[in-house]
Structure 1
Amino acid sequence: MDKNSTICNENTFNRVYKEHGKTIWRFIYFKCGNEAQAEDLVQDAFIKLWQNCAKVPVEKAKSFLYTITNNAFLNEVAHKKVVLKHAKHQPDRVENQSPQFLLEEKQYHEKLQSAIANLTEAQRTAFLLNRIEGKKYREIAEILNISVKAVEKRMSLALKSLRDEIGEL
């Protein structure tokens, strides 16, 4: 390769791809054992090479590509380990629940959505800001430009209406 050419030149980039693409793919395929994953990792490496074409000299392109591909693979492996670690600590919620429970849960959710929709706009706004957004009464009062007492009243009426419509658990 011409030492004066740059990776930013499309012909030089294509030449680097043709020279190293297959060997880098084989290298990473041997590590991961998955053709599609190897293809994705190699493509991502060449994208990064193109994005950094001004910074990477032609003679260092091969090393750059191997390093980027290997690091991306190692990052994926580390991520999978974290996912598996957290999956072990999470109980499998779905398998432990009966179909009857799942049906009742769905019906309750629908009933709750309907009850929230039946609130007045003022009550619904205060309720959702507090219970969904996690805002404190003071923050809701500032957002709605009302007093804290007004927020308390709206929440009280909203909760009473929800209890009446849904019933106690």
Structure 2
Amino acid sequence: MSKDLSENICEEAAFERVYNKYSDDVHNFLYYKYGAQYNTRDKAQEAFIKLWDNCKKVTFAKAKSFLFTVANNLMLNEIKHQKVVLNYQKNKPKQYTNETPEFILEQEQYLEKYKNVLGSLKEEQRVAFLLSKVEGKKHSEIADMLGVTQKVVEYRIYTAFNILKKELENFKIK
């Protein structure tokens, strides 16, 4: 009898005995306590996984208690998670802004002007400018991509920037 109490659950045969003995009991406990809306079979399996992970700490005599406690805690955590999900679904993000219709219209018009000015740039200037400012590439990377020197890339970006400043009022880039 004392051998059973201190038997190592990490041994495959002992763990299999524990699994065969308690798997249905753990599932039924969860099912009857929490109902069918939660996946009780999965939580019972997770409890056995935790038992396997902690097999060196849990004796054969304490295995049943460990399984039921872990399974119950897993189910409680799932219920808490579902409550958080439901609360998040209730609090829908606002569908409005504090911006005036005039501001939105001005923003759209400015964006249209920006696109037109970008379209009027020479292709080399536009490509260098967009690679630098939109994609965040370094001048040396752009030079390698385009097969030109770094000075040529800097000149193209500089001239594109000057054209944009001249054509668009309040044009600034960080």
TM-score range, shorter chain: 0.5 to 0.7
Whichever residue aligns with residue 69 of structure 1, its letter is A
Match of 1:120 among 124, 127, 139: 127
Count of matched residue positions in the alignment of Structure 1 and Structure 2? 121
- Equivalent residue for 1:5, pick from 7, 12, 25: 7
Q: Percent identical across equivalent pairs? A: 38
Gaps of 5+ in 1: 94-114, 130-139, 161-169
**Offset at 1:60?**
0.7
Verify: 1:64 aligned to 2:66, yes or no.
Answer: yes
* Shift in alpha-carbon separation, 1:61–1:35, aligned structure 2, 3 A: farther
CA–CA separation in structure 2 for the residues paired with 1:121 and 1:57: 68
Q: CA offsets, 1:121-161, max 9 Å, x none? A: 662353245xxxxxxxxxx87xx7x9xxx7xx58x85xx6x
- The answer (yes or no) to whether the contact 1:7–1:56 under 8 Å persists in 2 is yes
Asked whether the equivalents of residues 29 and 35 of structure 1 are also in contact (C-alpha less than 8 Å), the reply is no
2:61 partner letter: E
Return the index of the structure with the highest Cα Rg.
Answer: 2
CA distance in 2, matches of 1:11, 1:35: 33
Matched residues in 1 for 2:89 and 2:37: separation? 26
Query: Is the 8 Å Cα contact of residues 47 and 71 (structure 2) preserved in structure 1?
Result: yes
Deviation digits for residues 2-49 of structure 1 (CA, Å, limit 9, x no counterpart) = 123210011111111111111110000112322871110011110111
Q: Report the counterpart of residue 26 of structure 2 in structure 1.
A: 24
TM-score by length of 2: 0.56
Unaligned runs of 5+ in 2: 96-118, 142-149, 165-174
Contact between 2:6 and 2:59, CA under 8 Å: does it hold in 1? no
Contact kept in structure 1, 2:9 and 2:60, CA below 8 Å = yes
Q: What TM-score does the superposition give when structure 1 sets the normalisation length? A: 0.57
CA RMSD of aligned residues (A): 3.6
Alignment of 1:100-115 (within 5 A): none
Aligned residue for 2:45, secondary structure, equals: helix
Is the 2:6–2:61 contact (alpha carbons within 8 Å) kept by the matching residues of 1?
A: no
